[in-house]
Chains A and B, each alone.
Chain A
Amino acid sequence: MELLIATAVGALTAAGIYMVLRLRTFPVIIGTSLLSYAVNVFLFASGRLALNAPPVLRDGVETYTDPLPQALVLTAIVISFGMTAVVVIIALGSWLSSDDDLVDVPAVSDGDAAEPALPREQRQEAAQ
């Protein structure tokens, strides 16, 4: 059973990384979501696997699975929804306002990039 979990985490991670490396926003968002699954399962599994031992206290039951990773992962799942939503609105904003959903910033020539990096004052001083 451990082998199944490990390979599932591996598959989700690999798929997530591959999608994150794509050039458009939508697949990158999908990639981060897949990575979230992988990370959540990873964290959950770090409490070791147990069958039929939910951490809900019952009289006469002695063995329970590790509740701590579960609590951590529970909030992580909800937070990752918030994160996905923020990334999606950013991607939408860039697509709607510039018709561009490429992830990479287009390469600029050195001269263009150097100019705005200097504060105005320094440029004036350099010119003097």
Chain B
Amino acid sequence: MKTPDTIETPPFLADHPPHPDFNAMSDVGFRELVREFVSSHYPDIPRFAQRRLRWPEVKPWYARLARCGWLAPTWPQALGGMGLDATRHLILIEEFERYGCARIHDIGTVMLGPLLMQYGSSEQQDHYLPRILQGEDIWAQGYSEPGAGSDLAALRTTAIRDGDEWVIDGQKTWVTLGADANQVFVLARTDATVKKQAGISFLLAPMDAPGVTVRPIENLEGHAEFCEIFFDAVRIPLGNIVGEVNQGWTMAKALLGHERVFIGAPRLSASALARLEALARKNGLWNDPAFGDRFAALAMDLGDLNDLFESYMDRLRRGEVIGPDVGVLKIFQSELYQRISEELMQVAGSLAGVRLDDDGDRRHDAAGTYLAARPTTIFGGSTEIMRNVLARYSLDLPA
């Protein structure tokens, strides 16, 4: 693993000239700009990493994006973002992907920031948004619990009001990059007497508060990428609640819809298909007609997924709310990603199980792709849950 030469410490203060109106640029012009940006600013850290880079590794990139004002592409410029519309945002994502940029710790910019803009008080916005942009707060998402996965509303972590504080007790799990975060947003039960969904609130908790313990969990790829967080009588100020008391469920659901569109983006399948081509060429299967037929089917599926994604993006651009139909995208993308990864395992043959170390050449890595593809049908709403929701709310079938 490469260690950056200069480890910067937050706050990363923006020092750039005012942004132009990126949305007024042509698609081609904007794409050109992003390419140039990436190639001149991407620091000396891994590209095309299969795993999520940890905070010390990704920090130089986060810092660079922060200084240039490129950290929060979709936030309004007035709040320190780039103010990109959906089209420009997609172009930016594509170009970052093409260069193999590491994914930053983006829960703050992608999830919490937009949530605060919609539901947060102006004090909360003034306090937290700049801290995200300056790298002072790295956020983690504390929704799931051992007993509350698909059935999230069954969560049992409680927050009880005691004077001018909330006292949190309970356990969150599968928190992605939780061990790198200094803040966590937590769904907690604030009223046990009402319907499950109606007694949940959205709270903000610093991870260094007394009573917070973190236990890293190793995933199948061998990385401690997610963790458990235990709350033992953790006290936070009364003001650390977003929205009204017991309004948490509505807000949490609003965030999930957004997440699902992006899990539906074709980029994971696209990079897996490129890997499949590379491996088939290496293993002498590229000109095999039977393989060719399977490859063509997958390539067509990817093309159709692209079109589907674009059509959803169009709907977002027009300001439509996508609703349960987002499941179509999420199901097809995640299952296509898995099918491509399974074909990779076939092509890798008797060497399919080879386990590369962190510095291994990923261009032909079948097993790594296979493992990376597994969780995409589980998080952000499992494919089974997505199918249930589609059947019920999109197809209007009886419960």
Bound pair (A, B) = no
> What is A's interface to B at a CB cutoff of 8 Å?
none
Residues of chain B at the chain A interface (Cβ within 8 Å): none
